[in-house]
Amino acid sequence: MLNPMAGRDIRRLVAFASLQSTPEKLQVLRRILSGVAVFADQIQVLMPRDYEGLASIVQDEAHRLFGLSVDLVGNVAAPSSADTTVKWARELINAGADLLIVLGGDGTQRNVAQSKPVVPVLPVAGGTNNVACWVGDQTIAGFAAASYVVSPEQYQAQLFVSKVLHLSHFDGSLEVEDLALIDVALVRQNFTGALAVWNPEDVMELWLTVADPIRPGLSNVGGHVLPVTTEEDAITWLQLGSNDAYEIAAYGALAPGMMAKFWINQHQRIPLDQKLIIEAPRGGGTLALDGERTLVLRPEETVTLMARRDGPRYLYPQKILSSQCK
């Protein structure tokens, strides 16, 4: 799966990040397919039909360059959106996919998680923030993915179940549920606007399944205060404020080339499976899920949050290939 719109959000304009163009994404796909092609006689590649016709280009090139057979799945989808990504994931699984390779950032990987995939996922970095993603060489990623598909029973122990932040709130009498893979942020603005969060003064609280000091995004802020890894059965919580003497100053890279100062009032490590309550400020606010403002909150509205290890099963190439060593 390729999300043509991944890596083109407003953070790319306000930071010093470069756009990941469609031709560059095709290059990434070529690298992935070159790794898959080691098992060309044992692999059938599936791709969803897309609005821009990229799948048709890949279908032709895969056969001509790598001897791979590619089948196109589903009807042509509208321009990329969260709903389109969910639809693609479900169509591929229904068509018999044994593994999803997803090229996109944290937002795209979140949308795939919303589809509740029953097969493993290899999340390949292709967005602005890529904390949930494999950021190594894509050729190796393709080889590892194909190794799993050819011998899935050999690599079951190397699959990794991800943490997920589950949210629940009531819209009238209807209970609404959502999720995030990496971060949930309580933001002062009571509108979604351009979705992305890039102003540190807007952020009031953060809940992080991964607090990583070396990858950009809201996760990066927690990484400099209270790091937490994908393997740990805990999350990091931060309460942020303004510039007062008793607060901790911490820097974070919100996007490539965009350093910002945050003021931390409190921070805490919270174990998984613990019920938490988020309360909106008096003027209302929004919850940003994996870096994008998604849920508008009424004044003093509450949302339940719980972190659990019940997300997609991820295939990390280093785990697969390390297990081949004798």
**CATH number of the domain bearing residue 255:** 2.60.200.30
Kindly report, residue by residue over 100-136, the tens digit of the pLDDT: 999 999 999 999 999 999 999 999 998 888 999 999 9
Residues 148 and 207 grouped into a single domain: no
Q: Which residue has the higher pLDDT, 190 or 312?
A: 312
* Averaged pLDDT of the chain: 90
pLDDT at position 143 = 98
Residues 119 and 232 grouped into a single domain: no
Domain total in the chain:
2
pLDDT at position 326 = 61
Residues 298 and 204 grouped into a single domain: yes
Residues 232 and 128 grouped into a single domain: no
pLDDT at position 194 = 67
How confident is residue 204, by pLDDT bands cut at 50, 70 and 90?
very high
> H helices of 54-196, where?
54-66, 82-94, 106-114, 138-150
| 4 found inside a domain | no
Cβ pair 54, 26 in contact under 8 A: yes
For residue 246, pLDDT beyond 70: no
Kindly report, residue by residue over 84-103, the tens digit of the pLDDT: 999 999 999 999 999 999 99
Residues 20 and 125 grouped into a single domain: yes
Instruction: Provide the strand spans (E) within the chain.
Output: 44-48, 69-73, 100-103, 121-124, 160-161, 164-171, 174-180, 183-187, 203-208, 234-241, 248-255, 258-271, 276-279, 285-289, 292-297, 302-308, 313-314
Residues 138 and 217 grouped into a single domain: no
Q: What would the two tokens of residue 70 be?
A: 């590619």
- CA dist 294 and 302 (Å) reads 15
Residues 133 and 158 grouped into a single domain: yes
Residue 130: domain span: 11-162+312-322
Q: Which residue has the higher pLDDT, 195 or 63?
A: 63
Residue 16: give its domain's CATH number: 3.40.50
| 2 found inside a domain | no
- 319, exposed or middle or buried, with CB in 10 Å at 0-12, 13-18, 19+? middle
pTM of the full structure: 0.91
For residue 295, pLDDT beyond 90: yes
Residues 178 and 288 grouped into a single domain: yes
| 3 found inside a domain | no
Kindly report, residue by residue over 50-75, the tens digit of the pLDDT: 888 889 999 999 999 999 999 999 98
Residues 170 and 125 grouped into a single domain: no
| 233 found inside a domain | yes
Residues 127 and 153 grouped into a single domain: yes
Sheet holding 174-180: strands in order across?
Answer: 174-180, 164-171, 302-308, 276-279
Residues 207 and 285 grouped into a single domain: yes
- CA dist 247 and 244 (Å) reads 6
pLDDT at position 52 = 82
Residues 140 and 280 grouped into a single domain: no
